[in-house]
């Protein structure tokens, strides 16, 4: 049904009017209005809407409805490593990618990364956009935590940091990251990411001691001069007999 009112009909106190024309006694009409709740509205907020009917005669009618707001924020996180495999004693970079799929703002968001026992924390390479942290909680296992008070719907970011693999590490290892919020999450299966790193590469190759024996034999009566032994090769300078 056509309506008249402010354009674009938004904002607190906006009034939308439907002209219904002539209505007979006991006649009923239904008007449906759909509104969009802003994603930043805090959970528990009460939305109040009032409707009233008026006519040329001195008769009016009013009705009010209240609706509590419930927020939801689908948070997700992914994790990758580079290089993989990494040499024993080498440096590995972890990248965390996170996003709020909405529909609401996520409040009090924490990103917690649990380090493997076979590594030591190096440092942060980049955090985009900026977050509070990291806070290092010494274990074992050690944990890194980043925090933001709000993460708008549709917002995303990345964290890159490094670790050093212990030289004693000989087995594959995994790293786990979790993103949480005080805003209810309708899909929790994408709140955790686990990244496995293959068995570390050995540093250099194995060597064994060896013994090389060189036999030098003089043939004939002439004296040998300029004898040089190098790398298992014999270079001989021979004086001619006069």
Residue with tokens 């942060």: 124
What are the tens digits of pLDDT across the range 53-66? 888 888 889 999 99
* pLDDT surpasses 70 at 110: yes
Look up the pTM and report it.
0.74
* pLDDT surpasses 60 at 150: yes
Give the pLDDT score at 223. Answer: 53
In the three-class reduction of DSSP (H, G, I as helix; E, B as strand; rest coil), residue 240 is classed as: coil
Query: How far apart are alpha carbons 34 and 46 in whole angstroms?
Result: 17
List domains and CATH numbers for the chain: 1-70 (no CATH), 73-197 (2.60.40.1530)
Give the pLDDT score at 204. Answer: 63
Q: Please tell me which residue, 93 or 20, carries the higher pLDDT value.
A: 93
* pLDDT surpasses 70 at 144: yes
Q: Please tell me which residue, 214 or 86, carries the higher pLDDT value.
A: 86
What one-character-per-residue DSSP string does 53-100 give? EE-SSS-EEEEEEEEE----EEEEEEEEEESSS-BTT-EEEEEEEEEE
């Amino acid at each position: 049904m056509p309506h008249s009112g402010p354009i674009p009909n938004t904002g607190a106190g906006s009034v939308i009017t439907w002209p219904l024309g002539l209505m007979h006694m006991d006649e009923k009409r239904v008007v449906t209005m759909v509104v969009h709740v802003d994603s930043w509205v805090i959970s528990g907020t009460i939305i109040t809407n009032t409707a009233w009917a008026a006519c040329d005669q001195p008769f009016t009618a009013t009705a009010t409805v209240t609706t509590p707001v419930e927020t939801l924020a689908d948070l997700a996180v992914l994790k990758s490593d580079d290089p993989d495999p990494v040499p024993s004693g080498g440096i590995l970079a972890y990248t965390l990618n996170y996003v709020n799929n909405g529909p609401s703002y996520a409040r009090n968001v924490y990103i917690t990364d649990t380090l493997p026992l076979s590594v030591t924390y190096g440092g942060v390479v980049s955090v985009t956009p900026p977050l509070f942290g990291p806070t290092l909680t010494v274990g074992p296992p050690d944990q890194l935590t980043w925090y933001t008070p709000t993460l708008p719907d549709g917002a995303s970011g990345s964290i890159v940091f490094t670790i050093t693999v212990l030289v004693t590490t000989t087995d594959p290892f995994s790293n786990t990251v979790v993103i949480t919020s005080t805003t209810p999450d309708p899909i929790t299966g994408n709140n955790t990411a686990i990244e496995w790193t293959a068995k570390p590469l050995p540093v250099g190759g194995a060597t064994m001691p060896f013994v090389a024996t060189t036999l030098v034999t003089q043939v004939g009566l002439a004296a040998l001069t300029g004898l040089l032994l190098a790398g298992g090769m014999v270079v001989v300078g021979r004086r001619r007999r006069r």
